[in-house]
Structure 1
Amino acid sequence: MQISQFPSVKLKGTSATLAFLFHNYNHSKRLSLEGSPEMINIFILAIFLIVNLLISKIYFKKNLNIPIKSKGILSKERKRGFQLAEAGIFVIFLYLHFFVLVEGYFPLFVRIAPIIGFFVLLNFNRGLELWMTDRDSKAYYHNWLAATIMSIFFAVLAAGQYL
């Protein structure tokens, strides 16, 4: 394999492949936020995740001494009604997810609405359970913060589609 970009150098095999990749890398477009909606969405998501971590880990956990309590869906410590609600949310998510994927082209915010809705409802349900069972620990703040941050992210993403 000879590379025409380097007329004075005749390379074969792996050396030619590496030289070709290096040449294309140096002359390729750099990743930028200009004109790339996917990069902008990833950047916005990263900002919201960092804000969530800062508030949850630093402010709630360290400054206010609010512990994080997490229980699995099949934990024996959880109430049956909240487990059933969580299973129902999951079934609704699966239905919406496959319905949206089957139905042709939709904007990005419509395609990700089921997954964001799933996480918002899941965190709200778990926060409600903690609020009803262990109100004094205030551990439900973490779940409700996550639900709020995801809702705001979805609202910003949806608003960005129409700006």
Structure 2
Amino acid sequence: MTNLTQVSLESGFRDAMAHLAAPVTVVTVMAGERPHGTTVSAVVSLSMQPCLISVALAKSSDCLGYIAESNSFGVNVLSSHQHAMARQLAGKGAAKFDGIDWQESAGLPRLAGTAIWVACTALEFVDGGDHEIIVGQVLEVDTSPGAAPLTYHRRQFGTHVPSDIA
């Protein structure tokens, strides 16, 4: 495959993946005494018995290194009104948690006002190209009834709207 074809394939793939509606999540971990985390959309329910979840993080992610050190991570599914938080935590640097309301739960940073909270132990790290896939065993889960999740579709934030089709 020529380089031009590869670039075209990657560009087309990126555009195609933008058409997938995905929940907006923030994966969190403690980095010493301070919270750390990053906004991701690659989170998947993996198994019910045992309860497992998978998360994909770029190999260059600082968050990935902290998870490898601590062997634990949190998954915060943001609520529909938390798009500013999603943007802030998608950035880089230690100051990205400035002004973010959080508390410690299961030894991990749990963001306030989220639709779903899941605390995990990292069981396995799997190579996924330019990402690392983390398989986590669920230790704690909490949902906020009535909280609509924040979604990302066609490079825009939104939320799920139920269909009238039965």
Instruction: Specify the TM-score bucket, using the shorter chain as the normaliser.
Output: under 0.3
Instruction: Compare CA radii of gyration and give the structure with the larger one.
Output: 1
With normalisation by structure 1, the TM-score equals: 0.26
- The structure with the greater share of residues assigned to helix is 1
TM-score (norm 2): 0.26
